[in-house]
A and B are shown apart, each in its own frame.
Chain A
Amino acid sequence: EPEVTQTPSHQVTQMGQEVILRCVPISNHLYFYWYRQILGQKVEFLVSFYNNEISEKSEIFDDQFSVERPDGSNFTLKIRSTKLEDSAMYFCASLGLASFLYNEQFFGPGTRLTVL
């Protein structure tokens, strides 16, 4: 069964450093998303991406964040200068045409980001 994969599973970084979180969505999917979950809180939408551009972004997704689909298979989230409050679990999700009507997004296992 096709699945969304994410690397690394855990990333530890120093405050102020740049991090890149990587995702490989399901191959025939067209819509891509990043969400995050701070420990003990709900899963929050960050950004959606379609046709090589951002479709929508939340208030959380400020200038420190960027997304890219560099090669047609990977989908990356970059945080330019990490802050302590960026520590969270980051989930990538993708959506294909077949499940678009039901908005059945497929989630990856997540990357735990720890900012020290």
Chain B
Amino acid sequence: DQQVKQNSPSLSVQEGRISILNCDYTNSMFDYFLWYKKYPAEGPTFLISISSIKDKNEDGRFTVFLNKSAKHLSLHIVPSQPGDSAVYFCAASVRGSQGNLIFGKGTKLSVKP
């Protein structure tokens, strides 16, 4: 049962352009959503998060948008840089669950120079 879905296994973008990574969820009890970035042979690194009471959170080149009615969130990276090439995981946290994260399968982003 996939409570968090990332339907695009890969995405290729030109340097300087916008990267948009999408994530859908099914569980209405989720109250925090996070994006993690993962390089090969490393653990996931926290990137940005958003509470379910907000619809947008911005941190430098990274912006996360949340559409609760559609149960959809997206991560925008503007402008994309070659160093952004990594696997991006969407994760969600259930209210009162001691913070356990439920991950999507990830999207591999390739930013071409």
**Residues of chain A at the chain B interface (Cβ within 8 Å):** 4, 6, 31, 33, 35, 41-45, 48, 50, 55-56, 58, 91, 93, 95, 100, 102-110
Residues in A whose Cβ lies below 8 Å from that of B49: 102-104
Please pick, from A6, A41, A44, A107, the residue contacting B45 in the complex, using a CB distance under 8 A.
A107
Are B105 and A42 touching (Cβ within 8 A)?
yes
Please pick, from B32, B44, B104, the residue contacting A103 in the complex, using a CB distance under 8 A.
B32
Are B44 and A107 touching (Cβ within 8 A)?
yes
How far, in angstroms, from A97 to B95 measured CA to CA in the complex? Answer: 17
Residues in A whose Cβ lies below 8 Å from that of B4: 42
Are A45 and B101 touching (Cβ within 8 A)?
yes
Are A91 and B102 touching (Cβ within 8 A)?
no
Please pick, from B36, B41, B106, the residue contacting A109 in the complex, using a CB distance under 8 A.
B41
Are A48 and B100 touching (Cβ within 8 A)?
yes
- Whether, in the assembled complex, B69 has its beta carbon less than 8 Å from a beta carbon of chain A, the answer is no
Additional A-B contacts beyond A45-B102, A56-B97 (8; CB < 8 A)? A31-B99, A35-B103, A42-B89, A42-B105, A45-B101, A55-B98, A102-B51, A103-B99
How far, in angstroms, from A102 to B103 measured CA to CA in the complex? Answer: 16
Residues in B whose Cβ lies below 8 Å from that of A45: 100-102
Residues in B whose Cβ lies below 8 Å from that of A105: 46, 99, 101
Are A109 and B43 touching (Cβ within 8 A)?
yes
A-B contact pairs, 14 of them (CB 8 A): A4-B43, A31-B98, A35-B101, A42-B103, A43-B44, A43-B89, A44-B103, A45-B100, A50-B98, A91-B44, A103-B32, A103-B93, A103-B99, A104-B34
